Chain A
C-alpha cells in the first residue's frame, strides 16, 4: 500500500535541515502501524509525504502502486480525496461549520449531493457517538468530541489509508483511549490501513507494528 524507497527530505534555509535521510519503508494494506520518535526525528514529515501534503527530494514513493512524484495539484487532490483520510492533533475542523457539515465536507469535494452527504455524515457522527451534537460548532465541543468529529470526517470517504498525526496529543487519558479504540476498530472491522504518528509508548503498544525514527532514519521496526 505504502512503499518508500530511499526517501530524502531537506528543508531549505540558512542552515538546510536534512530531515529524512534515505528512508525505506513498506506498509501493507490493512496494517495498523505507529511511528515513534523524538521531536525533529522526521516522523511527521514522513506522514505528510505519505499524505501528499508535502513533497520529497530524492527516492521513490508509491501509493497503492502509483508513483507519487511531481503530481499536478489536481491529481494530488484526487489522491487525497479518494485514498487518504487525515486526523490531526489540532483537529483542523472548520470553525464556522457545524459537526455534520465538517464531517460531510470531503463528500462535497466528491460531488455528492447535499442531502446524501448530510445523511451520510449523520451516520458517521452516530458511529462516533456524536449524532446528538450534529448542530454544534467545533468551539461548542470538547477536545475529545472534536477529535471524534475529525475521525468521522476522515472515515466518511472510506479511504484506503488513515493517517493520524498525534491524534491524542491534545486529549486526556480517558479520551485518548476512546480515540485509540475507535482507530483500532476501524482497522479491524473495515480493514483500512492506519498509520499513527505518536510519541506515547502506550499508544504505540496498541498497534500491530511500531516503527522508530531517529535522526531521519528508521532505526527499529518491530511487530
Chain B
C-alpha cells in the first residue's frame, strides 16, 4: 500500500539536501544523455551506410585507370592508358554473357586535369567528365533541377551538360542554370540539369557537386578520345560472381595494355561486393565503438553515482546512529536510503532519457534537411534506453545499499560517534 508519510519523508530528505541530491542526479542524467547520443549516432551511421549503398548493385566490378609506374614490355613507366571499347568486347568474348550493364566515365582532357568553364559572366576551373546515362545508378546523386544525361544525348552526341550545384551557383549566381549555355575550350553546351552528390562516402566519377558532366559520346568526340574511358563499371550477371571475376577481368586488361602484372598502381580495381562487405564491417566496428564509448560513459556515471552514494551515506552514518537511537528499525533506514536513491536515479534517469531522445531527435530532424550526411535517421531503440536506465537505477540502489548496510552493521553508539 502507498505510504504517503514515508514518501513525504523521503522527498523531504532529498529536497533539504539540494547539493547532494543534485550531484547524484547529475551523474545519472549525464551518463544516460551521453549514452543516448552514442547509441543514436551508431544507429544513424549504420543506417547511413545502408542508405548510401542501397542503390549500388553489389555484383559489380570497377576499373579506374592511372599512369603506369613500372616499365614493362619495352614501354616506359608513366604511360597513360585507357579502357577502350575493344577491351570491353574482349572481356565479353572471353567471359560470354558476363556483363549485364556497364557504366562508363571519361575525364577530359585527361584524368584529374581541370579546365576553364565559363558562363556569360563568370568562369571557373573544374573537372569535366563524360558519362553514360546510367551513371546515377552507381554513384549516389540527386538531380536538383532538369535531368541527367539521356540515351538520346548519347546516341546523338548532343552538346548538353549537367552541372554540379556548386559550379552552377558560381556560373549562374541567383539564376536558374538549366537552359543556359556554358562555354568550354572550343565549344559550348546547354545545361540540362543541376545535380548534387548525396553520399559523403562514395562517388565513382569526379565530385558530382563540383564538376561538369557531358554525355560520354560527346566528350569522346570533342576531345578526340573516340572509344576511350578511364572508368568502367560492370554490373555482372549472377553466374559471374564479382569476387571471382574482378581479378580475371583486370588481368585481361593488363595483358591487353602491356602493363606489368605487379604494377598495382596502374589500375584501381574494385569489387563492390567486397567493398560493401568491408564497409559493413567498418560500420559494425564504429557502431560497436560507439556502444563501448557509451557504455563506458554509463559505467563512469554509475561509478560516479556509486561514489556519491557511498560518500553521502557514509556522511549520514551519524544521522543513521541518531535515527537508530530514536528507535528506527534497520529495515526502515535501509528502505529510506534505497528509496531516496531510487527517486533520485529514476527522476534523473528519466530526465536524461527525455533529454537524450529530444537531443537525438533534434539532430535527426536537422540531418533530415541536410543531404549528403553520413548519418541517416539517428534514433535510440527504446529497449536500449530502458535497459540503460534500469542498469543505472540498479547501480544507484546497490551503491546506496552497501554503505547503508555497513552503517547498520556497526553498533549504534559507533555510528553516533562517527564524524
Q: A residues near B, CB below 8 A?
A: 48, 51-55, 73-74, 76-78, 80-82, 86, 88, 92-94, 96-97, 101, 105-106, 108-110, 113-114, 153, 157
* A77: nearest chain-B partner, CB-CB: B329
- For window 144-181 of B, CB contacts with A under 8 Å fall at none
Q: Can you list 11 contacts pairing A with B, beta carbon distance less than 8 Å?
A: A53-B416, A73-B330, A80-B324, A80-B325, A94-B322, A94-B323, A96-B13, A97-B16, A101-B12, A108-B5, A109-B326
Check if B326 sits within 8 Å of A106, measured CB to CB: yes
Question: B8: shortest Cβ distance to chain A, in Å?
Answer: 7
Q: Which of B322, B327, B412 contacts A81 (CB 8 A)?
A: B327
Q: Which residues of chain B are near A77, meaning CB under 8 Å? A: 324, 327-330
Q: Which of B13, B331, B332, B416 has the most CB of A within 10 A?
A: B416
Extra contacts besides A74-B330, A86-B326 (17): CB < 8 Å: A48-B413, A52-B412, A53-B325, A54-B411, A73-B329, A74-B329, A76-B412, A80-B326, A81-B328, A82-B327, A96-B16, A96-B17, A97-B16, A101-B12, A105-B323, A109-B327, A157-B327
Q: Which residues of chain B are near A105, meaning CB under 8 Å? A: 323, 326
Q: Is B319 an interface residue (CB 8 A)?
A: yes
Q: Which residues of chain B are near A78, meaning CB under 8 Å? A: 327
Check if B322 sits within 8 Å of A92, measured CB to CB: yes
Docked Cα-Cα span, A52 to B416, in Å, equals 13
Closest 7 CB pairs of A and B: A81-B327, A96-B16, A53-B413, A106-B326, A53-B412, A73-B330, A54-B413
Q: Which residues of chain A are near B327, meaning CB under 8 Å? A: 77-78, 80-82, 106, 109-110, 157
Question: A85: shortest Cβ distance to chain B, in Å?
Answer: 9
Question: A120: shortest Cβ distance to chain B, in Å?
Answer: 14
Check if B411 sits within 8 Å of A53, measured CB to CB: yes
Check if A92 sits within 8 Å of B332, measured CB to CB: no
Q: Is B408 an interface residue (CB 8 A)?
A: yes
- For window 395-419 of B, CB contacts with A under 8 Å fall at 408, 411-413, 416
Q: Which residues of chain A are near B8, meaning CB under 8 Å? A: 114
Check if B17 sits within 8 Å of A153, measured CB to CB: no
Q: Is B9 an interface residue (CB 8 A)?
A: yes
Q: Which of B318, B327, B328, B329 has the most CB of A within 10 A?
A: B327
Docked Cα-Cα span, A114 to B328, in Å, equals 16
Check if A108 sits within 8 Å of B324, measured CB to CB: no
Interface of B: prevailing SS = helix
Docked Cα-Cα span, A49 to B381, in Å, equals 58
Q: Which residues of chain B are near A109, meaning CB under 8 Å? A: 323, 326-329, 332
Q: B residues near A, CB below 8 A?
A: 5, 8-9, 12-13, 16-17, 318-319, 321-332, 408, 411-413, 416
Q: Which residues of chain B are near A81, meaning CB under 8 Å? A: 326-328
Q: Which residues of chain A are near B413, meaning CB under 8 Å? A: 48, 53-54
Docked Cα-Cα span, A74 to B413, in Å, equals 16
Docked Cα-Cα span, A76 to B5, in Å, equals 24
Q: Which residues of chain A are near B322, meaning CB under 8 Å? A: 92-94
* A137: nearest chain-B partner, CB-CB: B16
The answer to whether A88 and B5 touch (CB under 8 A), given A74-B330, A94-B322, is no
Question: B396: shortest Cβ distance to chain A, in Å?
Answer: 21
Q: Which residues of chain A are near B412, meaning CB under 8 Å? A: 52-54, 76
Q: Which of B5, B17, B330 contacts A114 (CB 8 A)?
A: B5
Check if A88 sits within 8 Å of B16, measured CB to CB: no
Q: Which of B9, B13, B324 has the most CB of A within 10 A?
A: B324
Q: Which of A74, A77, A92, A110 has the most CB of B within 10 A?
A: A77
Docked Cα-Cα span, A51 to B413, in Å, equals 10
Q: Which of B8, B326, B328, B408 has the most CB of A within 10 A?
A: B326
Docked Cα-Cα span, A80 to B330, in Å, equals 13
Q: Which residues of chain A are near B17, meaning CB under 8 Å? A: 96
Q: Which of B9, B12, B332, B412 has the most CB of A within 10 A?
A: B412
Question: B2: shortest Cβ distance to chain A, in Å?
Answer: 14
Question: A156: shortest Cβ distance to chain B, in Å?
Answer: 10
The answer to whether A86 and B5 touch (CB under 8 A), given A54-B411, A109-B332, is no
Check if A113 sits within 8 Å of B5, measured CB to CB: yes
Check if B329 sits within 8 Å of A92, measured CB to CB: no
Q: Which residues of chain B are near A54, meaning CB under 8 Å? A: 411-413
Q: Which residues of chain B are near A114, meaning CB under 8 Å? A: 5, 8
* A96: nearest chain-B partner, CB-CB: B16
Q: Which of A55, A108, A110 has the most CB of B within 10 A?
A: A108
Q: Which residues of chain A are near B9, meaning CB under 8 Å? A: 108
Docked Cα-Cα span, A89 to B413, in Å, equals 13
Check if A153 sits within 8 Å of B411, measured CB to CB: no
Docked Cα-Cα span, A86 to B329, in Å, equals 16
Docked Cα-Cα span, A101 to B13, in Å, equals 11
Q: Which residues of chain A are near B331, meaning CB under 8 Å? A: 74
Q: Which residues of chain B are near A113, meaning CB under 8 Å? A: 5
Docked Cα-Cα span, A86 to B327, in Å, equals 11
The answer to whether A92 and B330 touch (CB under 8 A), given A48-B413, A55-B411, A108-B9, is no
Question: B34: shortest Cβ distance to chain A, in Å?
Answer: 31
* B332: nearest chain-A partner, CB-CB: A109
Q: Which residues of chain A are near B326, meaning CB under 8 Å? A: 80-81, 86, 105-106, 109, 153
* A105: nearest chain-B partner, CB-CB: B326
Docked Cα-Cα span, A27 to B278, in Å, equals 87
* A44: nearest chain-B partner, CB-CB: B413
Question: A25: shortest Cβ distance to chain B, in Å?
Answer: 19
Q: Which residues of chain A are near B323, meaning CB under 8 Å? A: 94, 105, 109
Docked Cα-Cα span, A108 to B13, in Å, equals 14
Question: A166: shortest Cβ distance to chain B, in Å?
Answer: 13
Q: Which residues of chain A are near B13, meaning CB under 8 Å? A: 96
Q: Which of A53, A82, A157 has the most CB of B within 10 A?
A: A53
Docked Cα-Cα span, A83 to B262, in Å, equals 97
Docked Cα-Cα span, A86 to B5, in Å, equals 24
Q: Which residues of chain A are near B408, meaning CB under 8 Å? A: 73
